[in-house]
């Protein structure tokens, strides 16, 4: 591990002004410190932002709740207001990692956790995300866990977060503070980006911007929700593929849908067409299967991750069925 300085403050303006182009903000460190140990991330300065004031859950003016970025994943997932109003978010967050990691991990850090592509972690291998222009080891290498949607020839990695899949299904806005202390709002679906020609950029943040809050839309899907995570073992494992499903049902008809997948793209993959298809339909396996076919029709797998097509369809049907049956 290379030498670095550690700065801590409880004044937001000091954290913002301390940031330089070789700094990193530090949340729980559960991703960043691992990457520093592997020599993948090489900051000169860590600015610990966990003492900052953004550690509460409050009601917001959209009729929803605002979740502080410095709050831990455990305190968020187990919060009474989140469990009651956004159980889909709580369920997705509790499926992640282990209790110990969720106790350390912050919401801001969760949004910015980096891909688990093995070539990204292995500094002797080519990886455009780690070293732009060095090539993509996964493209013709081991790509069983990689993307089937939205990738480019520069990078086929996936976003590993469970929390972010639920946020994509629910809809949210991320609030950030710029270095001049002005705030900026980013629609959650615009927060993460596709790799295109710049796979080193995971998101649309500008240098030095600090995530302060996640604004959740008005409560949704508290009766019919399910987060299905398919993984190789039941803890300490990232999703091979996941589905966040939320349904609102009125008089036997679906009136609102939130549907997103994880483990399939460089960003949480919102299934907009499948959502639109389901609105106004009855909640039936036939309609869920039709939605799954719509969702997966543009998938382009590699040899080793072809399994994600069939698995994806079945996972969508199962998540929607579980969501529907939860209160029926
Ligand atoms: C063994 C293991 C298993 C795991 N399994 C899962 C899993 O199954 N599902 C899952 O979703 N996750 C999993 N994780 C990942 C875990 O959820 C993340 O490591 C965690 O959420 C990151 O949060 P953090 O606060 O520790 O971030 P840090 O490691 O502190 O930071 C991550 C990044 O965010 C930046 N950052 C942090 N806070 C802010 C802020 N407020 N504003 C701007 N930048 C900021 C940092 O500079 C850094 O670049 C696992 C991790 C481990 C180690
Ligand atoms: S998929 Fe992306 S992260 Fe993985 S080796 Fe290729 S460029 Fe690197």
Task: For residue 192, count other CB atoms closer than 10 A to its CB.
Answer: 23
- Residues 55-91 as b/e (b if ≥16 CB within 10 A, e otherwise) read bebeebeeebbbbbbbbbbbbbbebebbbebbbbbbb
What is the structure's pLDDT at 236? 87
Is residue 73 in contact with ligand 2, taking CB distance under 6 Å?
A: no
Q: Which atom of ligand 1 is nearest to the CA of 43?
A: 47
328 residues of the chain, pLDDT tens digit each = 899 999 999 999 999 999 999 999 999 999 999 999 999 999 999 999 999 999 999 999 989 999 999 999 999 999 999 999 999 999 999 999 999 999 999 999 999 999 999 999 999 999 999 999 999 999 999 999 999 999 999 999 999 999 999 999 999 999 999 999 999 999 999 999 999 999 999 999 999 999 999 999 999 999 999 999 999 998 889 999 999 999 999 998 999 999 999 999 999 999 999 999 999 999 999 999 999 999 999 999 999 999 999 999 999 999 999 999 986 4
Q: Is the pTM of this model over 0.75?
A: yes
Give dist(CA 161, CA 116) in Å, integer.
10
What string of DSSP letters covers 145-181?
A: TS-SSS-BTTB------SHHHHHHHH-EEEEEE-TTS
CA atoms of 32 and 223, how far apart (whole Å): 36
Ligand nearest to the CA of 196: 2
3-state secondary structure of 23: strand
Helices 87-94 and 163-170: crossing angle in degrees, nearest 10, is 160
What is the residue with the minimal CA distance to atom 8 of ligand 2? 127
127 lines ligand 2 (CB under 6 A): yes
Cβ of 249 less than 6 Å from ligand 1? no
Residues whose CB falls within 8 Å of the CB of residue 186, separated by 6 or more in sequence, listed in order: 173, 174, 175, 176, 204, 205
Expressed in angstroms, the distance from the first to the final Cα of the chain is 54
Taking a C-beta distance cutoff of 8 angstroms, is the pair 86, 78 a contact? no
Tokens of 304: 């080793």
DSSP, res 60: -
For strands 210-216 and 65-68, give the pairing.
antiparallel
Atom number of ligand 2 nearest to Cα 119: 5
For tokens 């382009």, name the residue. Answer: 300
Instruction: Show the DSSP H helices in the chain as ranges.
Output: 12-18, 32-37, 73-77, 80-85, 87-94, 99-104, 107-112, 118-121, 163-170, 188-191, 272-278, 285-296, 307-325
Residue bearing the CA closest to ligand 1, atom 34: 109
Residues 227, 207: Cα–Cα separation, whole Å: 33
**Which atom of ligand 1 is the closest one to the Cα of 236?**
3
pLDDT of residue 328: 47
Is residue 57 lining ligand 2, measured as CB closer than 6 Å?
Answer: no
Q: What pLDDT does residue 7 have?
A: 97
**Confidence at residue 327, expressed as pLDDT on a 0 to 100 scale:** 64
Question: What pLDDT, on the 0 to 100 scale, is given for residue 75?
Answer: 98
Give bridge partners of residue 211 from the DSSP assignment: 176
Count how many Cα atoms sit within 13 Å of the Cα of residue 45 in the half-sphere of its side chain: 14
Task: Please say whether the beta carbons of 179 and 17 come within 8 A.
Answer: yes
User: Which residues lie across from 102 on neighbouring strands?
Assistant: none
> What pLDDT does 56 receive?
98
């Amino acid at each position: 591990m290379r030498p670095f300085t550690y700065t801590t403050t409880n004044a937001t303006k000091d954290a913002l002004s301390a940031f330089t182009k070789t700094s990193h903000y530090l949340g729980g460190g559960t991703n960043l410190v691992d990457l520093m140990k592997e020599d993948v991330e090489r900051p000169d300065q860590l600015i610990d932002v966990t003492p900052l004031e953004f550690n509460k859950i409050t009601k917001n003016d959209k009729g929803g709740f605002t979740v502080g970025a410095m709050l831990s994943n455990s305190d968020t997932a187990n919060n009474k207001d989140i469990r009651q109003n956004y159980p889909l978010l709580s369920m997705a967050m509790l499926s992640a990692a282990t209790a110990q990691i969720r106790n350390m991990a912050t919401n801001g850090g969760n949004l910015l956790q980096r891909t688990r592509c093995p070539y990204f972690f292995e500094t002797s291998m080519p990886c455009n995300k780690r070293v732009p222009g060095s090539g993509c080891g996964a493209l013709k290498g081991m790509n069983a866990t990689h993307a089937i949607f939205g990738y480019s020839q520069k990078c086929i990695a996936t976003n590993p977060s469970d929390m972010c899949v639920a946020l994509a299904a629910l809809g949210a806005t991320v609030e950030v503070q710029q270095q001049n202390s002005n705030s900026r709002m980013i629609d959650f679906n615009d927060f993460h980006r596709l790799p295109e020609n710049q796979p080193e950029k995971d998101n649309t943040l500008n240098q030095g911007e600090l995530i302060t809050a996640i604004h959740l839309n008005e409560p949704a899907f508290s009766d019919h929700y399910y987060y299905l995570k398919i993984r190789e073992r039941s803890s300490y494992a990232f999703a091979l593929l996941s589905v966040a499903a939320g349904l609102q049902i009125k008089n036997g008809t679906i009136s609102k849908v939130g549907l997103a997948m994880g483990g399939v793209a460089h960003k949480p993959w919102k299934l907009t067409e499948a959502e639109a298809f389901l609105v106004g339909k009855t909640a039936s396996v036939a309609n869920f299967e039709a939605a799954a076919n719509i969702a997966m029709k543009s998938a382009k797998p590699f040899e080793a991750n072809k399994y994600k097509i069939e698995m994806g369809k079945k996972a969508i049907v199962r998540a929607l069925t579980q969501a529907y049956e939860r209160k029926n």
